């Protein structure tokens, strides 16, 4: 028995050595503090292989303070600098319109529920303007549109803020498609969210555990089926549904990400987690456990927005170290990392 253990350990060590630090880093998207590469190690991290960054205009601690940019020119300068590495990063932003509009310069974009009353022609004009603005400041990935269906009038995170296009899946699909097409015309990738559907929930996964077991409806999957070949990425929510997985929330679930989204629905693009520092995950899982579960689930990009506090920023070096340890201990596979890199690099090549 001891010989078998030694051989297994040796094999794990060999496999872990075959995965490069750049391949590991490519699976992460991080938020950071600083308005230029001089303020942060973020450019160095990108040059070492960090897959992407997410930018925010305002600090989460002090809304009057700047986190990454305060003008269009400062954002453009930042993104240009970050793209100067040989390893081209994904530079993402949450830009839906309405309450979720991280870039607020000359234009204010309406929320989804308002856009749905204007018709798709007007929506095309609105989202073309948005895409043009994102492209002009160097953003190449918009973490939008919202594919959630407004099923629960008491929903506090989607319906309350008008982030859904409506109660009818066909309406949501039509406006999501308009959004995606507008972004693509300006070279901006998109992310349908929040799989497998957040529109029926009551709670907010930013704050803690959200169970949708008795609320979720199968029709919440329809936008993902319809748009699986049109969107560039799909963001997975942290909601829990025991009928889909009795043990883990969607973002950390092999049954949801691989068996449902990839195998049953047939989506083969990049899967990105919602922010893994949100309460639904951080309050229930250690950092290493969350990373292991996310990778084993089939997630490609693990998002850490670093919106908690400047003193609690998660660095790429720590994440690489954790993944190395997980590989060495046989808790995750080399194949999962290789497959994720194949999908991520295909997306980057498109951009």
> What distance in Å separates the CA atoms of residue 252 and residue 50, rounded to the nearest whole number?
21
Q: Active site residue: 142, 232, 245, 274, which one?
A: 274
Phi and psi at 340, nearest 5°, equal -60, -45
Encoded tokens for 182: 């507008």
pLDDT at 128 over 70: yes
Say what percent of the chain tops pLDDT 70: 95
Q: Are 319 and 295 in contact (CB under 8 A)?
A: no
pLDDT at 36 over 90: no
Sign of CA dihedral 7, 10, 14, 19: positive
**Topology of domain 2-350, CATH:** TIM Barrel (3.20.20)
Give the pLDDT mean for 35-60.
Answer: 91
DSSP state of 290: H
Tell me whether residue 176 is one of the annotated catalytic residues. Answer: no
pLDDT tier at 311, thresholds 50, 70, 90: confident
> What distance in Å separates the CA atoms of residue 142 and residue 161, rounded to the nearest whole number?
19
> What distance in Å separates the CA atoms of residue 124 and residue 175, rounded to the nearest whole number?
9
Residue-level pLDDT at 331? 98
Give the pLDDT mean for 324-336.
Answer: 97
Render pLDDT for 8-30 as a digit per residue (tens, 0 to 9).
444 444 444 599 999 999 999 99
Q: How many CB atoms lie within 10 A of CB 254?
A: 17
Render pLDDT for 236-245 as a digit per residue (tens, 0 to 9).
999 999 999 9
For residue 238, say if its preceding peptide bond is cis, omega within 30 degrees of 0.
no
Q: How many CB atoms lie within 10 A of CB 9?
A: 13
Question: Burial, 121: exposed, middle or buried (Cβ in 10 Å; 0-12, 13-18, 19+)?
Answer: exposed
| DSSP code string of 66-129 | BSS-SSHHHHHHHHHHHTTSSSPPEEEE-EEETTEES--SS--PPPHHHHTTT-HHHHHHHHHH
Tell me whether residue 232 is one of the annotated catalytic residues. Answer: no
Residue-level pLDDT at 207? 66
Q: Active site residue: 168, 184, 204, 206, which one?
A: 206
Residue-level pLDDT at 17? 53
Look at the pTM and tell me if it is higher than 0.85.
Answer: yes
């Amino acid at each position: 028995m001891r010989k078998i253990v030694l051989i297994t350990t040796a094999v794990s060590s060999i496999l872990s050595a075959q995965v490069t630090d750049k391949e590991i880093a490519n699976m992460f998207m991080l938020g950071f503090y600083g308005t230029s590469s001089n303020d942060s190690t973020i450019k160095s991290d990108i040059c070492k292989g960090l897959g992407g960054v997410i930018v925010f205009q305002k600090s989460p601690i002090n809304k009057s303070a700047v986190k990454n940019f305060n003008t269009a020119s400062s954002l453009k300068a930042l993104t240009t600098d970050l793209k100067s590495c040989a390893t081209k990063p994904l530079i993402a932003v949450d830009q839906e319109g309405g309450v979720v509009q991280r870039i607020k310069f000359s234009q204010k974009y309406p929320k989804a529920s308002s856009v749905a009353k204007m018709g798709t022609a007007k929506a095309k004009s609105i989202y073309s303007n948005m895409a043009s603005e994102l492209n002009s400041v160097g953003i190449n990935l918009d973490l939008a549109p919202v594919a959630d269906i407004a099923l629960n009038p008491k929903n506090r995170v989607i319906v309350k803020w008008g982030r859904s296009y409506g109660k009818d899946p066909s309406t949501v699909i039509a406006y999501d498609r308009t959004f995606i097409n507008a972004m693509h015309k300006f070279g901006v990738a998109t992310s349908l969210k929040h799989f497998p559907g957040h529109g029926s929930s009551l709670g907010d996964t930013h704050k803690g555990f959200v169970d949708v077991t008795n609320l979720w409806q199968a029709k919440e999957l329809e936008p993902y089926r319809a748009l699986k070949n049109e969107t560039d990425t799909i963001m997975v929510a942290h909601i829990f549904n025991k009928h889909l997985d009795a043990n883990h929330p969607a973002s950390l679930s092999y049954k949801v990400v691989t068996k449902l989204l990839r195998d049953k629905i047939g989506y083969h693009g990049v899967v990105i987690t919602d922010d893994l520092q949100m309460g639904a995950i951080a309050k229930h899982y250690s950092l290493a456990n969350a990373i292991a579960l996310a990778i084993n689930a089939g997630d490609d990009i693990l998002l850490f927005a670093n919106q908690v506090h400047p003193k609690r920023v998660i660095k790429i070096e720590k994440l690489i170290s954790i993944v190395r340890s997980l590989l060495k201990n046989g808790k995750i596979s080399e194949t999962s990392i290789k497959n994720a890199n194949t999908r991520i690099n295909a997306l980057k090549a498109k951009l």
